[in-house]
Structure 1
Amino acid sequence: MEETIPGTHAAHTAAHIPQQRGDSLLETAVRYAEERHWDVVPGTWLEAVDGTQRCSCGDPGCAAPGAHPARADWAAQATGSAGAVRRLWQQQPTASILLPTGRTFDALCVPETAGFLALARLERMELTLGPVILTPQRRMRFLVLPGAGAKLPGLVRRLGWSPGALDLAALGEGAYVAAPPTRCGSRGAVQWACRPTPANRWLPDTEELVPALTYACGRDR
């Protein structure tokens, strides 16, 4: 059964998780590489220990159980080759799907409430969005062209805000996002607030989204 994401009217065209029924993590990871040309890398996974789901990293207090890198060299392991992706997930079929940022995209990160407010505003402005991730930690990650980290502070200042005053951050080189349908322990699954489609293959630049995100984060303080 498909889940839906509660939110504002802005999510009406993107409230469904885009996974095709029955898709495995392997099939989804391969599709990200083949259809979006994204580098992907397997992360940790969940294991049943004494009737509870624990992260494969072995830390009982893991902050992101089943949804973080499994190896120190995870960035070097990431690949956009569908064949290599298939081999990686055949070794560990339940591994989470991680997408490195700073390569084909960066991510602008805001709280969920601000994210839905920004989606409504961007829809009214008829701006074309890229895919948007909703995490179980109630965060939204808007995918944009690389370079967001260098641009964001100056853009926020020009809009009259101190960068440290807003819950708005950029993920770029050396970071990653967990992709649907990765599960984060008992918190639930990562979802798409705006799913990847042929229409949003070309990502927006940071400048296009920051005004709406800044406004929304200011309202959400």
Structure 2
Amino acid sequence: MREILGRRRRLLSKRNDGRPELISAALTFAAEWKWPVLPGVAPDPQGRARCGCPDPECTVPGAHPFDPGLLAATTDERMVRWWWTNRPTAPIVLATGGKAPCAVSLPALAASRALTALDQMGMRLGPVVATPHRWAILVAPYSMEQLGELLYAKDYVPGSLRFHGEGGYITLPRPRPATAGSAGSGHRCPARQRPGCPMWRPSWTRSSRPSLVRV
């Protein structure tokens, strides 16, 4: 997966006191950044290209919550530590909305073109979480009312555009170590702000959290 959180995440291996990377990342999201997370269902342990959930036709293998359900998402350090101590390979699922980040996502090719266009416009972008099929931009929390007003004002909205707000979720990327002599794979820096161009203001005030943008 490709994501803008890479540089900060790669520092975890230097200060995780020997904890596996996934539990260290989950604790950082929950305890430091106050993002409610929960363990997702892991891929089939037998190695087959299917999900570990009971649905034999699951369309998002290893990328969704199952047990516990989404409502169990928490920022409680003890609960997060217990989850990933018992399920060290479980994907990290972020429950979007509320006080947590929301997200907008597009198919990978369309998202790549959209990000290029936004960079050229000088827009300040938030973290980007990318899978081979879809890319999601994390944005400041928004309500359904705010989203409705925004969409109503637009002449056209792509049918492939998805909104991950209250009651939604995205799967956060698995940590990947940096390679020697490189800045590390999966890191994308936002474009510089250009004079006179619109800017999406970051909604976080703590420097330890990644900047998010408003839709």
Q: Which residue of 2 aligns with 1:107?
A: 103
Aligned Cα root-mean-square deviation (Å): 3.1
Q: Which residue of 2 aligns with 1:43?
A: 40
| Superposition TM-score, scaled by structure 2 size | 0.70
Using the alignment, how far apart are the partners of 1:64 and 1:192 within structure 2? 24
Shift of 1:101: 0.8
Q: Relative to total residues, which structure has the larger helix share, 1 or 2?
A: 1
State the SS of the aligned residue for 1:203. Answer: coil
State the SS of the aligned residue for 1:67. Answer: coil
Aligned-partner residue type, residue 144 of structure 1: V
User: Among the aligned pairs, what percent are the same residue?
Assistant: 33
State the SS of the aligned residue for 2:45. Answer: strand
Task: Decide whether aligned partners of structure 1 residues 194 and 105 sit closer, same or farther in structure 2, where only a CA change above 3 A counts.
Answer: farther
Using the alignment, how far apart are the partners of 1:116 and 1:199 within structure 2? 27
Q: Which residue of 1 aligns with 2:128?
A: 132
Using the alignment, how far apart are the partners of 1:156 and 1:200 within structure 2? 28
Whether contact under 8 Å (2:42, 2:89) holds in the other structure is yes
2:163 maps to 1:173: no
Shift of 1:66: 1.6
Cα deviation per residue 1:112-145 (whole Å; 9 max; x = unaligned)? 1221122122222332221111123x11111112
Task: Decide whether aligned partners of structure 1 residues 41 and 193 sit closer, same or farther in structure 2, where only a CA change above 3 A counts.
Answer: farther
Using the alignment, how far apart are the partners of 2:166 and 2:75 within structure 1? 16
Using the alignment, how far apart are the partners of 1:54 and 1:167 within structure 2? 24
| Superposition TM-score, scaled by structure 1 size | 0.68
Whether contact under 8 Å (1:130, 1:194) holds in the other structure is no
Alignment of 1:39-118 (within 5 A): 39-49=36-46, 52-71=48-67, 74-103=69-98, 104-118=100-114
Task: Decide whether aligned partners of structure 1 residues 55 and 35 sit closer, same or farther in structure 2, where only a CA change above 3 A counts.
Answer: same
Shift of 1:148: 5.3
Whether contact under 8 Å (1:18, 1:192) holds in the other structure is no
Shift of 1:18: 6.3
> Unmatched 5+ residue regions in structure 2?
14-19, 176-185, 191-206
Aligned-partner residue type, residue 21 of structure 2: S
Q: Which residue of 1 aligns with 2:25?
A: 28
Aligned-partner residue type, residue 48 of structure 2: T
Match of 2:155 among 153, 157, 160: 160
Whether contact under 8 Å (1:109, 1:141) holds in the other structure is yes
Matched length: 182
Q: Which residue of 2 aligns with 1:121?
A: 117
Whether contact under 8 Å (2:127, 2:211) holds in the other structure is no
Task: Decide whether aligned partners of structure 1 residues 135 and 18 sit closer, same or farther in structure 2, where only a CA change above 3 A counts.
Answer: farther
